[in-house]
Structure 1
């Protein structure tokens, strides 16, 4: 009996995904560990591997299909000796039934049975239109942008649904193909259901605008940040930190690391400083639960990275024990793969605290929203030349403002202040965090 291959849950929060690309075709032989497909989740594009061995029988969900629920059968796998029946055999089994029925009584013309209409290994033809072309939301949007008439296309998705792949090679403004089945149910020439403006959304003013469907990433960000501000009592603590010693050390380290192809950023050193300060003040390296306070024995720092689809926080695990060169190399790799949506769930889920740096954008100071269930996040502002008291005298120094956001259910104000003091001391005397 064929094995059902179902849409996997590639992360604990995944409820649906997009089957971006099939890496196999019907009739291919696969074994355990072979790549079957690329699946887009709300955070990344991931490769899906085969668990069993056999021959791909039927791809039941077309490439490009969006909103495929976890657990949906996306393909079948035939074991040894199992094959789909050839087209002629299928037809021969059905034909006698039709002839016997015709002898018994006249019958009205009806749509062909699935076994008659679809030969094994072929995609089903689209169902007759019923006033609205059967197409995925992505296909509709791309068709509108490219001025492609969806009625002229043949869908390759489930039940003849038009998906993104069907738009490849289609000509803008193509006229609908003349099909017998369309003559009865085709809409009047004056109506264009697929291109009609969508119904106005309540609350949107009558001003020229564009509307874009929310991505999965944006929906997750909206939900999690709303929950954070509604359920987590935030307390904010800000300190001004002199950066001159850190910048000097960075220059010296980069001079020595250049031969190894490593170039440290200020952010790399701040990740290290936050991790070490969390170990010095373990009361801030915590997570709040309804009946427990969890204190972590290492510092895994989630680092906010802006990507085209929103925001993601890849994790530097054990940053308190890693060298700054290792942190820099790992951070560059994680950030690059985050922008390509190639991170694995374990690379962005978890973490004991977060760091968000907007200094490179010229932001002087801000208050970041805690990323639950973590207990704190450090917000880094821009380093700038400011008047500063140096050894009792007024001078000019490079100073940045750092703001810690703390979950007040788990972290008292005094403990948060202790962490901010430890972080300030490490940045202003950075050799201590390298020891």
Structure 2
């Protein structure tokens, strides 16, 4: 017979109230049943501690909540990202980059544009840098599909767009051969179409890599979920200040935190690290993107 650990006082109280100590889970050291356990049981009319844990939480009155009709796009996102997290073995690479040069180049470009609507965004640089990095690291321009590796010949980049009607990730094709201005114009068109709910199937091409930027919301860093069948997604944070001592002088550097989420079925850690470092190289040397 299994020994019951119970204090003498608790045992006496249980005997008086005809309580079987075997039905209790003690709250004392090493699970010992103590006086307060018996008193709690008496107070709650025979409901023991283990049963309490299993009880359902209190339910709000029906007038305190409502069932919202779920839009189709929300259901699609839920299904797709649930599939992603349950079937794709994610791993994450994180690093910060200096963007002083990038911000300077962007300002010079935009200051010399006649039409304010043509202005280049930070995102446009990330799209271009990712595409060029894929050209130099074709082993990352690949996806895992039906237990096979599928390699793409062009650098197509998916871009997460948060619109009034939901989240979309349309694709820019052949980005490696497009200028920053071309990329910027295409992105503006896709954003407009997303807000107007006029995106078409042709706007969602196949690609291996995507980017998601929450920097405009002040988010320092985050981990993005891979959008199947992509094999990687780059999460971009906000521009932050970093005070440094350079040549015995204080310098206010601007940095952005990046996180690359990767499908380990398709890409290994060292391979992904080289790809991320190449993206960083072009972002920290943005003038090189002008001639690519």
Distance 1:262 1:223, change over 3 A: same
CA distance in 1, matches of 2:116, 2:218: 30
* 1:265 alignment partner in structure 2: 121
Distance 1:407 1:394, change over 3 A: farther
State whether structure 2 residue 69 is matched by structure 1 residue 245: no
Give the match's secondary structure for 2:224. Answer: coil
CA distance in 1, matches of 2:286, 2:245: 19
CA distance in 1, matches of 2:264, 2:248: 35
* 1:431 alignment partner in structure 2: 287
Q: Which of 208, 212, 217 is equivalent to 2:68?
A: 212
CA distance in 2, matches of 1:411, 1:315: 21
Q: CA deviation at 1:390?
A: 5.0
Q: Which of 204, 214, 223 is equivalent to 1:358?
A: 214
Q: Which of 209, 219, 227 is equivalent to 1:371?
A: 227
- Structure 2: tracts of 5 or more residues without a match: 1-55
CA distance in 1, matches of 2:261, 2:181: 28
Higher relative contact order (CA 8 A, sep 6+): 2
CA distance in 2, matches of 1:424, 1:214: 39
Q: Which of 159, 163, 171 is equivalent to 1:303?
A: 159
Alignment of 1:117-128 (within 5 A): none
The Cα offsets for residues 371-430 of structure 1, whole Å up to 9 and x where unpaired, read as 111110000000111134657976320100011000001100001110111111111111
Give the match's secondary structure for 1:397. Answer: strand
* 1:59 alignment partner in structure 2: none
CA distance in 1, matches of 2:77, 2:57: 22
* Higher-helix-fraction structure: 2
Give the match's secondary structure for 2:80. Answer: helix
Q: CA deviation at 1:361?
A: 0.1
* 1:84 alignment partner in structure 2: none
Distance 1:410 1:386, change over 3 A: same
Distance 1:203 1:340, change over 3 A: farther
CA distance in 1, matches of 2:247, 2:179: 31
Give the match's secondary structure for 2:238. Answer: coil
CA distance in 2, matches of 1:297, 1:391: 45
The Cα offsets for residues 149-175 of structure 1, whole Å up to 9 and x where unpaired, read as xxxxxxxxxxxxxxxxxxxxxxxxxxx
Distance 1:203 1:318, change over 3 A: farther
CA distance in 1, matches of 2:247, 2:263: 35
Alignment of 1:389-408 (within 5 A): 395-408=251-264
Alignment of 1:4-83 (within 5 A): none
- Structure 1: tracts of 5 or more residues without a match: 1-201
CA distance in 2, matches of 1:389, 1:401: 20
The Cα offsets for residues 107-163 of structure 1, whole Å up to 9 and x where unpaired, read as xxxxxxxxxxxxxxxxxxxxxxxxxxxxxxxxxxxxxxxxxxxxxxxxxxxxxxxxx
Contact 2:152 2:207 in 1 (8 A): no
Contact 2:214 2:236 in 1 (8 A): yes
Contact 1:312 1:348 in 2 (8 A): no
State whether structure 2 residue 255 is matched by structure 1 residue 409: no
Distance 1:389 1:217, change over 3 A: farther
Contact 2:99 2:256 in 1 (8 A): yes
CA distance in 1, matches of 2:200, 2:97: 35
CA distance in 1, matches of 2:83, 2:278: 30
CA distance in 1, matches of 2:147, 2:135: 24
Give the match's secondary structure for 2:202. Answer: helix
CA distance in 2, matches of 1:392, 1:294: 51
CA distance in 1, matches of 2:257, 2:66: 37
CA distance in 2, matches of 1:426, 1:285: 17
Distance 1:211 1:241, change over 3 A: same
Q: Which of 115, 136, 147 is equivalent to 1:280?
A: 136
Give the match's secondary structure for 2:197. Answer: coil
* 1:333 alignment partner in structure 2: 189
Give the match's secondary structure for 1:401. Answer: strand
Contact 2:173 2:205 in 1 (8 A): no
Q: CA deviation at 1:270?
A: 1.2
Contact 1:358 1:382 in 2 (8 A): yes
